[in-house]
Structure formats: C-alpha cells, structure tokens
Amino acid sequence: MMEAYRQAGGDPGVLQLPQVATLVISANQVLVAHEIPGVHFEAESLPHGVRAHIWVEPHTRFTQPVHLCFGLLPAEGEQEIIADYEIGEQAQVRFLAHCSFPNAIKVEHRMQARIRVGRNASLTYTEEHFHGPQGGTVVLPKAEVVVEEGGYFTTTFALTRGRVGVLRLDYHVRVEAGGVTELVTKAYGKGEDAIHVREVVVLEGPGARGLTRTRIAVQDHAQSRVDTVTEGNAPNTRGHMDCTEIVRGQAQASNNPLVIVRHDQAQVTHEAAIGTVNRKELETLMARGLSEDEAVDLIIRGLMR
C-alpha cells in the first residue's frame, strides 16, 4: 500500500511521522487512523468500503497537512468511501488525499462526501489519483459542500497519472455570506477514456465568491464533457467559470456553462477554449530534439501544472 501511495504522488515517509494526522484505507480495511490534537477520525468497515467521519476542532491551525490514502490493489473489485468532513469555525487545515489503483482492470471507486466548512474557517483539499496503464478504473466522486459565512474552501482534483478509465465527477458547493470557493479539476484522457465533470456553485449569501477552473486534455478516442453551473443569488456575489480543453487525434470534448443570476447586483462570467496544442510551442520543443508525441505530452502536462 505504501508503494501505491508513492505512485499516486505521495511520500510514504510522511505517513509515519507522529506529528502528522493520517488515515489510510485499503479496500474496506482501515490500516491507519492516526490522530493528532485537533484532528479526529471515526471509521468503520462496510462490505465494500469504509464510512468515515473526520472533524477538525474550532480555532485550530496546522503547519502540516492531514494525509489521506485510499486505494485498491487487486485488479478487480470495488471500493466505496462515505465521508463526512466537519471543519470547526476559524480552523485552518489542509488535506492531501492520494488515491491509487495501480493494477486496475475492472475496479470501481465511489466517493460520497459531505463537507461543512464552519464560519471563518479554511479548508484546502487536494486529491491526486493514479490508475495504472490498463484504463480499467471507474471513478465516481460526489461531494456536497457548505461553506458557512466567511469560510474558504478550495479543492483540486487531479487525474493525470496513468489511464483515467471512466471519471464522473459531481460537486455541488453552496457558499454563504462572504465565503469563497475555488474548484480546480485536471484530467488527461487517452485511449477510450471517458471524462465527465459536473460542478455547481451556488453563491447564496451577500459577497460570496466562486471560481471553477477546469483543465482537460483528451487524445486518441477519449471523450470529455464539462458541465459547470454558477448561480449568483445575492448582492455583490461574483462568480467565474474557466474551462480549457485540448483535443488530439479522434478525441472529442465539449463544454456547457450555465449562468444563473437572481439578483441585479450579482455578476457571473465564463470563458471556455477548446482546441489543439499551440503549434509554435510544439515546433519549438521539436526543434530541441523532442518527438511530436513527447512535445505534445510536455505541453499538456505544463497546462495541468
């Protein structure tokens, strides 16, 4: 499991530090649940996964991120993670989650998360995936998030290591007065991969702000679809949707932004760009000795970063 964690981009050594809160789940087994003052875990095994309750005490701040590791090592199987996150008011915390399915031929991973960010609290959640080369992983992450007054929530979901397989991401974020949210999604599809991203940001309270930033590349016969919705429902709310997709070969990409404004002092904007890699950048890299495929891959990974 430690090697799978490394393949997903994590540092296995961090999981053994006593000052770092850590939760490690393999299939439906909780391997590690190490708490530190201010961070608490409750986890129970389910037939095909784990139910977890993770909470951070109010007014606590941490220099080290909380590390989460989810994975399934066999070639076939399913894993369901049902997680509740509670971030107490005025707390500040970062989560680093690494999900690894290195041998997947027929694996389904379902994540159902409910997240509450308390008043004037801050949560930064970064999720990195590694799926191996077979393209046999189906990933279904779903999150319902509430950002309370003055709260801050930012999340980055990255699936750029190995084959995507099938990804259906569905996030819904409600932001109350003075709150801020930023959703960043990155995916790199190849072969017959299928990517569907759906993100809804509801700016419910006065002065709420929201940003969705999507970066997706597809090549071969892969397909991607991005559906983003931002609602401005109160005065002085500001929202923006930013989507860039790169298409190569016989791949296909689409973007469907929806803007809903219910107050005359709210403002929501969007921009989208779908196309191939920049020809000048490609020629410059090829002139320096890279093949066309290597140059394209480098440009795409630069976009992802």
To the nearest 10 degrees (0 to 180), the angle between helices 279-287 and 292-304 is 120
β-strand pairing of 66-71 with 76-87: unpaired
Give the domain extent around 184: 1-278
- The answer to whether residue 113 sits within a structural domain is yes
Query: 20: which 2 tokens?
Result: 């770092």
- The answer to whether residue 296 sits within a structural domain is no
Report the length, in residues, of the chain: 305
User: What pLDDT score does 155 carry?
Assistant: 98
- The answer to whether residue 291 sits within a structural domain is no
- The answer to whether residue 303 sits within a structural domain is no
Q: Can you tell me whether residue 202 is helix, strand or coil?
A: strand
> Has residue 137 got a pLDDT over 80?
yes
- The answer to whether residue 236 sits within a structural domain is yes
pLDDT mean across residues, the chain: 94
> Has residue 213 got a pLDDT over 80?
yes
Order of all β-strands in the sheet with 106-117? 39-46, 49-56, 76-87, 106-117, 137-147, 166-175, 194-203, 223-232, 252-261
User: What pLDDT score does 142 carry?
Assistant: 98
140 CB neighbour count, 10 Å cutoff: 16
> Has residue 300 got a pLDDT over 90?
no
Annotate 225-253 with b (16+ C-beta within 10 A) or e (fewer): bbebbbbbbbebbbbbbbbbbbbbeebeb
Under the banding of pLDDT at 50, 70 and 90, the label for residue 266 is: very high
Sign of CA dihedral 84, 87, 88, 94: positive
- The answer to whether residue 298 sits within a structural domain is no
Span 5-61, pLDDT tens digits: 777 777 778 878 889 999 999 999 999 999 999 999 999 999 999 999 999 999 999
- The answer to whether residue 20 sits within a structural domain is yes
> Has residue 160 got a pLDDT over 80?
yes
- Average pLDDT value for residue range 180-194: 97
d(CA 238, CA 234): 9
Distance of CA 59 to the CA centre of its chain: 26
d(CA 250, CA 219): 7
Q: Can you tell me whether residue 81 is helix, strand or coil?
A: strand
- The answer to whether residue 297 sits within a structural domain is no
Q: How many domains does the chain have?
A: 1
User: What pLDDT score does 94 carry?
Assistant: 98
Q: Can you tell me whether residue 2 is helix, strand or coil?
A: helix
pTM above 0.85, yes or no: yes
Q: Can you tell me whether residue 41 is helix, strand or coil?
A: strand
List of E strands, 206-251: 209-218, 223-232, 238-247
